[in-house]
Structure 1
C-alpha cells in the first residue's frame, strides 16, 4: 500500500473514531488507569477528569507505580485515594499498588508467589480477561512497568487490551515517564498489542506540553467544584477538603509554575481527552521505532505499527475539563 492510500485510510479511520466518540449513545470505553499519582499535579486532574466523564468511561480500577518523584507506591496510592475520595468513587472503585522497581529486575520473579507489583499486575490481567465485546483500554500515565509485567505474565491478554501511554518526546530523546523504566518500553513495542503514544515533547507546542492549565484559571474556575463529600480529606500539602475543586487550587498553589502567565502543562489529562474525543488531537500511524540509548531509532520497515498522538487542541481540552467538573458540581 503506498503512502497516499495509507494516509487516506488512517484519516477515514480516525474520522469514524471521532464520530463514535461524539455519539451520545456510543459504547462507553472500558478504562483502567495506571498512575504515579503523587508525582506532580497532572495525574490528579487526569484521574478526576476520567472518573467524572461518566458518559464516556467505565473506569474499572486504578493501579499505581513509583517514578522518580512523589515517593514509593504507598505515597502514590495515598494520593490516588485522596482524588478518588474527593470525586465520590471511594471505596467502590478497585485500587491496587504496583511496582516500585523496574521491569528488568522484577521480570524473573513474576511467576513467584510474591513480587514487586503483584497486586496491580494480577488486577490488570483479571480485568483484561473479563468477557466483553469491548477492549479494555489501559491508560498508563506514568512508567509502563505494571503494563509490561502483566503482558509478560499472561500474553493471552494481548488481544483484549489497547494501551494508550502518555510518554516520550518522540522523535526526540528523553522524557520523564520514558526514562523511569526504559527496558519495559522496548518490550511492549515488540508485542502485537494495540499501542498508542501520547507525546509529551517538552517546550514544543506539538506535544502535550502545549496543553496548558493556567494557574489563574484554576484559581478562578475550580473553587468549590466537583462532587461534595461528607468527610474532609487531608491534602498532600496539608489542609482539609470536601471537593476536588478546592484540592485542585491547593495543588496549583504549591506546585512550581512555568511561564508568564503562570501555567502547568496538563500532560496526563491530555491522554484522557484524546481517548474521550479523538478530535482533540491528531493521530498518525507509524512503524514502531526502537529505543536507542535514551532516544529513538526509526524502523520504517517494521510491520508492527503504533498510533502517535500530537498537535492537541489545548483550548478545547481545557474547556472540556472545566465543563466536566462543572457538570459534576451539585447545584
Structure 2
C-alpha cells in the first residue's frame, strides 16, 4: 500500500517564486470553485449564497458536493449515554469528559437517547449536500445547469485509490486550463474531492490554490480532533499539507469561530430579503443541529457561520488578515508539527467579523 511519503513523491515541488505568487492576493475576477458539504449544517449555504450574489467580484465556475458523516461520533455518544443511564459519567470520569458528556446529558434531559440521532453515511451526506446546493442556487435566482457536480461518496480509502467523481474530474479540467489564471478552490468540508483530484493529476498543483477552513492554528498546541472538516478524511487532510501545493489555511478555532450571528441580526438584515434571505432565515430558525445536539433556548444563542470565511478572504484581504508561514505536518494523533524548512502556506490569524457580515448583508440586499 502506498504511504503518504510515497504519494507525495509524485508531486513536483513548485518554484519558490511561483509559490509566493500563488499565495498572494487573487487578481481581478478570480476563478473560483466551491467544494462544500452543504447539508452538514447551515453555514455553507450562507457562503454559497454570498458567492453567487457576488459574481461581479469573482468568477464562480462551479460548486462541487462533498460528503459528510458523523459516524465517528456514534460510539462515543452511545457510551456516554449508557454511562449516564447507569449513574456514571461524572465530571471526574475522564472517559466522558469532552463533547459527548454534555451532549448525552442534554439528550437524556430532553427525553431522548443516542438511538434518536441519525448518523448518516458519507454517500448520504454527499447526496444531501448536492440537493442543498441546488436549493441555494434556486433561492438566489441563479441557474445551476452545468455548475453543480456530484462529489465523492466516500472519504479517501487509501493513497492507491483516489475516488473518481464528477467533482474530481471538474477540478482537474478547470485546473488544467492555464490560460485564464489559477483556480481558487474554496474548501468548506472534508477533502476527498480535492485529495482524489490531486492523486489522479499531480500536475495540477501549479494552477490551483486551495483555501480551506478547519482545525486550530498551526502554532496551537491542541489536538485537531474537534474539527469535522479535518478529522473525517485524514488521508486527504494530510495530503493537502504535504504535497507542496499552494494552500491558504483558515483555522476554524478560534478565527472562523468569531463569525457568529444572532437571531435579531438575522431578523433585521436577512429575513425578507428575497427568496434567499427567507431561506437562510428558515435554516437559522429551524437549525437541525439544535435538535441533534438538544440545544435549549436557541433564541438566546448565536450560531457560528464558519464557512463564510473562505468567501471573505477571496473578496477582501482586510476581512481575513493572514501571514505567510510554513506548512506543518499533521501527526498521527492529529497535532501540528512545525518545520521551518517546509514549503510555504498562507494562514489566517484573525477575522474582521463586523465588516464580513456587513458585506454579506449588502449582497443579500442586492439579491
TM norm structure 2? 0.72
Residue of structure 2 in register with 1:91 after alignment: 144
1:168-207 equivalences in 2 (<5 Å): 168-170=215-217, 171=220, 172-174=222-224, 175-201=227-253, 204=254, 207=255
SS at match of 1:308: strand
Q: Which runs of 5+ in 2 are unaligned?
A: 1-20, 71-119
Asked if residue 128 in structure 1 is aligned to residue 175 in structure 2, the reply is yes
Cα deviations across residues 184-224 of structure 1 (Å, max 9, x unaligned)? 111121122110111101xx4xx111111212211222223
1:28-67 equivalences in 2 (<5 Å): 28-67=29-68
- Tell whether the 8 Å contact from 1:208 to 1:310 is kept in structure 2 after alignment: no
Asked if residue 214 in structure 1 is aligned to residue 266 in structure 2, the reply is no
Of 312-321 and 69-78, more deviation after overlay is shown by 69-78
Comparing both chains, which one has the higher relative contact order based on Cα–Cα distances under 8 Å and sequence gaps of 6 or more?
A: 2
TM norm structure 1? 0.79
- Tell whether the 8 Å contact from 2:328 to 2:338 is kept in structure 1 after alignment: yes
Residue of structure 2 in register with 1:119 after alignment: 166
Deviation at 1:260, TM superposition (A): 8.1
Alpha-carbon distance change, 289 to 252 in structure 1, aligned in 2, over 3 angstroms: same
- Tell whether the 8 Å contact from 1:66 to 1:100 is kept in structure 2 after alignment: yes
- Measured in 2, the distance between the counterparts of 1:158 and 1:244 equals 35
Q: Which runs of 5+ in 1 are unaligned?
A: 1-12, 111-115, 227-242
- Measured in 1, the distance between the counterparts of 2:333 and 2:35 equals 23
Deviation at 1:285, TM superposition (A): 1.4
Question: Over alpha carbons, which structure has the higher Rg?
Answer: 2
Q: Identify, as 1 or 2, the structure richer in strand.
A: 1
- Measured in 1, the distance between the counterparts of 2:337 and 2:323 equals 15
Residue of structure 1 in register with 2:160 after alignment: 108
SS at match of 1:267: coil
Alpha-carbon distance change, 93 to 45 in structure 1, aligned in 2, over 3 angstroms: farther
Q: In structure 2, which of residues 259, 262, 273 is the aligned counterpart of residue 225 of structure 1?
A: 273
SS at match of 1:193: coil
Residue of structure 1 in register with 2:344 after alignment: 305
SS at match of 2:335: strand
Asked if residue 247 in structure 1 is aligned to residue 279 in structure 2, the reply is yes
Alpha-carbon distance change, 117 to 37 in structure 1, aligned in 2, over 3 angstroms: farther
For these two proteins, the number of residue pairs brought into alignment is: 283
Cα deviations across residues 165-201 of structure 1 (Å, max 9, x unaligned)? 0111232322110011111111121122110111101
| Aligned-pair Cα RMSD in Å | 2.3
- Measured in 2, the distance between the counterparts of 1:282 and 1:58 equals 22
Q: In structure 1, which of residues 266, 275, 280 is the aligned counterpart of residue 305 of structure 2?
A: 266
1:274-313 equivalences in 2 (<5 Å): 274-313=313-352
Asked if residue 167 in structure 1 is aligned to residue 214 in structure 2, the reply is yes
- Measured in 1, the distance between the counterparts of 2:223 and 2:187 equals 20
